[in-house]
């Protein structure tokens, strides 16, 4: 099972689709289009930022805990479904969720009580995943790293209104803080081998040679991990 990580607009869904085609396996995509809470969360962040700017204190986003538990529940379901088969790919995993909730708590968007309850729920889910995972089984986590300018460029390109900094200037600080949290997450992640892709340098969506390089790098990593045979590795190179 391959899991992808990366900030909004890093290209997780695009790489998930490419890998699923190359490896002939099932992709599992992050719930965004069918997520009724996400637009409410962004609106709640905007309103909370305005209240704080006006001098209000102890202002939270009432949709933070709801959104994070929505994502947690969906990702728990996704990873259980993926674990039932072989060679599946998830465009975001449950292993990033705690980072989002911690950041929102530090920003004041969630309360300490909500954070504590969330942490207990996440721990129970991770314990169940660990029990269901074969001993010595190691999956591959792929982190797509992008800078703030690249992130904003891609957010503008895909056009979701509630994600645009032009519509909500408070998102500038939110996104930059999130990039810092991803840097820390990269340094501390230890659940499986981690492969980092430079999303600024390699445009695997628009540039064919960049796409070939990224896919070949992933194939090399899977071979080194013993997840694919040399014949399968050669086939992936040939197809690219």
The answer to whether residue 91 is catalytic is: yes
Would the annotation count 237 as a binding residue? Answer: no
Whether residue 89 is annotated as binding a ligand: the answer is no
Give 202-223 as a DSSP string: --TTT-HHHHHHHHHHHHHHHH
DSSP secondary structure of 52-108:
HHTT--S---TTHHHHHHHHHHHHHHHHHHHHTSSS-EESS-GGGHHHHHHHHHHTT
Is the alpha carbon torsion for 174, 177, 183, 189 positive or negative? negative
Catalytic: which of 91, 173, 200, 210? 91
Q: Does 55 belong to an annotated binding site? A: no
159 annotated binding-site participant: no
142 marked among binding-site residues: no
Q: Residue 177, annotated ligand binder?
A: no
Please answer whether residues 203 and 210 qualify as being in contact, where contact means their C-beta atoms are separated by less than 8 angstroms.
yes
Is 11 marked within a binding site? yes
Query: Any known ligand binding at 12?
Result: yes
Annotated binding site for substrate: 30, 42, 68, 92, 97, 163
Q: Which residues are catalytic?
A: 91
Annotated binding site for ATP: 6-14, 154-158
Annotated binding site: 6-14, 30, 42, 68, 92, 97, 154-158, 163
């Amino acid at each position: 099972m391959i899991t992808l990580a990366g900030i909004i607009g890093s290209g997780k869904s695009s790489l998930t689709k490419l890998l699923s085609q190359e490896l002939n396996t099932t992709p599992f995509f992050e719930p965004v289009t069918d997520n009724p809470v996400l637009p409410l969360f962004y609106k709640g962040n905007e309103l909370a930022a305005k209240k704080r700017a006006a001098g209000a204190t102890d202002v939270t986003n009432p949709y933070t805990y709801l959104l994070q538990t929505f994502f947690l529940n969906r990702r728990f379901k996704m990873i259980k479904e993926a674990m039932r088969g072989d060679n599946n790919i998830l465009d975001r995993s449950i292993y990033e969720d705690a980072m989002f909730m911690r950041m929102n708590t530090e920003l004041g968007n969630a309360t300490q009580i909500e954070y504590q309850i969330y942490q207990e729920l996440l721990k129970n889910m991770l314990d169940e995943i660990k029990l269901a995972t074969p001993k010595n089984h190691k999956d591959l986590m792929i982190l797509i790293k992008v800078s703030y300018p690249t992130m904003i460029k891609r957010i503008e390109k895909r056009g979701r209104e509630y994600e645009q900094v032009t519509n909500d200037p408070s998102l500038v600080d939110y996104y930059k803080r999130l990039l810092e949290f991803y840097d820390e997450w990269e340094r501390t992640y230890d659940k499986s081998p981690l492969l980092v892709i430079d999303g600024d340098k390699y445009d695997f969506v628009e540039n064919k040679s960049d796409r070939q390089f990224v896919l070949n790098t992933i194939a090399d990593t899977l071979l080194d991990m013993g997840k694919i045979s040399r014949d399968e590795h050669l086939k992936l190179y040939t197809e690219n």
